[in-house]
A and B are shown apart, each in its own frame.
Chain A
Amino acid sequence: MNKINSIYIVDDDPITVFGIRKILNSIVECASIETFKNGKLAIEAIKTVVENSSEIPDIIFLDINMPIMDGWQFMAEFIKLPIVKKIRINIITSSIDATDYENWEIFRNKTHHVVDYIHKPAKRSEIEKSTIPA
C-alpha cells in the first residue's frame, strides 16, 4: 500500500469529503488526512506550515465551488508560496463550465506543481492514480 505523509481535502460538501476519505483509507497508508471547508481555511493552514517549516501536504484534493475562497482563488495564492517540493493538486469538481477547464489549463502551465482534474463522482481508480506523489 502506498504510503503518504499528509493529504489535505478542501471541500465544503461533507458527503464528498466522506467519500474521498473512505476511498483513501482503502488504498493508501496516510499519517494525516486534513479537511478544510473552504479555500481560505486551507491556504491559511498551508501558510502556517510553510512558516513553521512543518509538514507540507503531498496531495491536495481541491473543490472549485466553495464559499469565501473558491478553488481558483486558493490556487492563485498557493502557487505564490515558496514551496520547492512538487505537490500534487487534484481538482475535483462536478463543474462542466468551460471557464473551469480554461482556469485549469492556465494554472497547470503556471506552476511546477502537478495539477490534475477529476470529475465527481470520483472513482476509486482515479483516486488511486491521483495518490501517486508528484
Chain B
Amino acid sequence: MLNSTKSYVRDYLVKQLPSATAFINTNFEVIQASDKWIDSFDFSAPDVFGATLFELFGGVSKKWLTELSNCFEGKPGGLYIHTSTNSMGAETHIQWKNLPWYDENENIIGAILHTEDVTQSVVNEEKLEKLDAFLQEKSEKAKIGSWESPINGEIWWDEMTRKIHGASADYIPTIDTIFSFYKEGKSKQKILNAVKMAHENGQAWSERLQITTPNGKEKWVISAGKPLYKNNKIIGLIGTFQDVTKRVLLDAKTKASEKLLKTLINHLPINVYLKDINSKKILVNKNEVEFCGFKNEKEVIGKDDYHFLDKVSAEICIEEDQYVIKNAKPILGKENIIVDRSGKATTFLTSKIPMLDDHGNVDGLVGFSLDISDLKAKEEELRTLINITALQNKKLVDFAHIISHNLRSHAANFSMLLEFLITEKSDSEKKKITEMLVSASDGLLETLNNLNEVVAISTNIKTEKTPVHLKKVVNKICGSLKYLIQENNATIINEINENLKVNVIPEYLDNIIANFITNGVKYKSPFRDPIIKLSTSKEKQSIVLTIEDNGIGIDLKKHGDKLFGMYKTFHNNEDAKGIGLFFTKKQIEAMNGKVTVNSKVAIGTTFKIYFNE
C-alpha cells in the first residue's frame, strides 16, 4: 500500500477534527480517524488503524459497499442514516456521508467517511411528527382548531379553524375581516372586548359565542386566546377555536325536555317525589312541596318525612320506603291516612316504585300519592245514604205489610159480612150483621188513623228539633197522669239531672215519656205497688234516658222481636191495642235516636232511650 508506514502515523490534524471523520484505503482499512469518530463507535485508538471496516463493524451492508465502491470510482455518495442498537440497548441513528479521497495528484486513494450521531434530532423529529399527528387527531375529534395572530405578521389559521369558520381555501384571515364572522350584538361585542383586553392587559379569554359562516350557517363556538410574549412584550395572540354547536343544541334540548318534565310533574294533580335509599327526598313536585307545608322545593329536598309528618305517619311512610328499597319490589295503590305535623289527616292512594342504577341495584324510589280524602268523604256519605235508604226501604216494606195485613183483614170482614147480608133472611140476624158492619167500619177507621200517624212520623224526619229540659218535661207528664198514678199507688222517681237539655221534637218526647210511664203503671206486678225510676247518663255521643219499672216484665226470648211491632199485645189486658210502643219507637227513630229493652218476667222492665246529640 502507498505510504503505508506514514499512513499509520496519526495525523494530529485529523485526530482533532471536530467532526467524526475516518479515512479508508481501497482495501477498506482505516488509515486515519478523528478521535470523535473512534469515540462515537467505542473503538480503541491503536486497534482501529489498519483494521478493515468489515472487522470493525462485523460486516458491511450491501448498500454501504456499493456507496464506497462508487467513491473509489470518484462518485460521492449521498447522506444516509444508519440505525442500530448500541451496547446499552438504545436505538442510535448515525448519519453517514462518503466522499472519494484524493491524493495530491487527484488520484483516488480511498474514501473519507463522515459520520454524525443524529439520534437526538431523529428522536426530536419523530416526536414532532407524533405531536403533529396527535394535534391533528385531537383537532379533528374535538373540533378544536388553533390560530395565531402575531402583531407584525399574517394571521394563521389551522385546517380546523378554517373549517369551523366555513372559510374557503383561498380565504386569508386578516384583522379587518375575521370579526365579521361573529354575530352582531353580544357575540361580536364580547370577542372585540376580549381581544382588546388581551392586548392591553394581557388577559386571557374563553368565551362561548355565535358565528355565522359565509353560507349562512349559525354555529356556537368557544373562542379562547391569550397573549404570546417575547422579552416581556406581547408579540401576538394565540388560541383555540372550538365548534360546540352540537353540545349547545343538545344542552338546550336537554333543558327543554327537563323543563317539560318539570312542568308536567308540577301540574300533575298528585304528589310526586323521588327519595334516596335513606328516604330523603331528592325531587318533589309542587303538590308535594305544598303538602309538606312549604313554598320552595329547596326547603323539602334532603329531608325525610319526620320533618313534615306526625311521628306515626312518618314511621309508616319510611317503613314502606325501606320495604321497596330492600326488596326492589313496588308498592302499588296502597291506601294510607297520613297526618301532618299540624294534625291534619289526608287519605292518600300511594304507589312507590324502586329506581335501579346501571348495575340493577336499587338507588332510590319514585313515589306517587293521590289525595283521595274528598273521594273518601263522598264514599262515606254515599255509604250513609245507602244505609238510610236501606232503612227507609225496610220501613216501607214493613209499612206495606202493616197496611196489607190490617186493611186486608178489615176488607175481608166487610166482604164476608156483606155476603151474609145479601143472603140472610132473618131480620134479627140481618140486624146483627149490620151492627158488625158498623163495628168493622169503626175498626177500619181507627186503623186508618193509626196508619196516618205512622206516615206522619215517618215523613216528619225534617221537623226541627229544639232543646228542652228533660226533667221538667217528665214532671209535666207526671202531672197530667196524676190520676192514673194515684189510682195505682205508683211512685215516680225522677232522678234526671236538673239542668240537662235534650234536642227533641217536643210533642214526640211528651208522647214517649207518657207512654213508658203509662205502660210501667199498667203492667204492674200484682204483688207490689209500681215504682218507676227515670235517670240519665251519657254514652259516647248520646244522652241516655233510662226508665226502669218493677212490673210484670216480659219474656224477651218469646216476644223480643215483636215488642215494638204494630198491633202486638202480650198480656191479657183488655184495653191493650199494641200500638203504644210501636209509635214510641217510630218517634224515637224519627229523632235519630234508638230504644233498647231489658226485662225479666215478674221482676221488671228497663227501657233505654238514646237521644242522638
Contacts and interface: CB of A to CB of B under 8 A. Distances in A.
Nearest to A12: B569
B405 A15 contact: no
Given A67-B578, A95-B405, A96-B404, A15 B416 contact: yes
B413 A67 contact: no
A18 B417 CA distance: 9
Nearest to B440: A15
A98 B324 CA distance: 56
B569 A19 contact: no
A29 interface: no
A77 B415 CA distance: 33
Interface string A77-113: 0000000000000000011110000000000000000
A10 B439 CA distance: 20
A13 interface: yes
A48 interface: no
Given A15-B440, A16-B413, A67 B576 contact: yes
Nearest to B418: A121
A73 interface: yes
Contacts, number: 58
Contacts of A94: 405, 408-409, 411-412
A95 B405 CA distance: 5
Contacts of B439: 14-15
Contacts of A121: 412-413, 415-416, 419
B417 A15 contact: yes
Interface of A is mostly: loop
Interface residues of A, number: 19
A60 B313 CA distance: 71
Interface string B558-578: 100000000111111000101
A13 to B, nearest CB: 7
A78 to B, nearest CB: 16
A50 to B, nearest CB: 22
Interface residues of B, number: 25
Given A67-B570, A68-B569, A68-B570, A19 B416 contact: yes
Given A13-B409, A68-B570, A122 B578 contact: no
Interface in A7-35: 13-16, 18-19, 22
A3 interface: no
9 closest residue pairs by CB, A with B: A67-B569, A120-B412, A121-B416, A121-B412, A94-B409, A94-B408, A15-B413, A121-B415, A19-B416
Interface in B519-566: 558
B12 interface: no
B401 interface: yes
Interface of A: 13-16, 18-19, 22, 65, 67-68, 73, 94-97, 119-122
B131 interface: no
A132 B115 CA distance: 156
B408 A120 contact: yes
B571 A68 contact: yes
Interface string B216-229: 00000000000000
Contacts of A18: 436
Contacts of A68: 569-572
B420 interface: yes
A40 to B, nearest CB: 9
Nearest to B562: A70
B568 A67 contact: yes
A114 B73 CA distance: 158
Contacts of B409: 13, 16, 94, 120
Instruction: Identify which of B405, B416, B568 gathers the most chain A CB atoms within 10 Å of its CB.
Output: B416
A36 to B, nearest CB: 12
A117 B584 CA distance: 34
22 contacts: A13-B409, A14-B436, A14-B439, A15-B416, A15-B417, A15-B436, A15-B440, A16-B416, A68-B571, A94-B405, A94-B411, A94-B412, A95-B408, A96-B404, A96-B405, A97-B401, A120-B408, A120-B412, A120-B413, A121-B415, A121-B416, A121-B419
A73 B404 CA distance: 22
Interface string B408-445: 11011101110110000000000000001001100000
B413 A13 contact: yes
B424 to A, nearest CB: 9
Contacts of A122: 416
B480 to A, nearest CB: 28
A1 B174 CA distance: 146
Nearest to B566: A65
Contacts of B558: 73
Contacts of A22: 420
Contacts of B568: 67
A59 B578 CA distance: 29
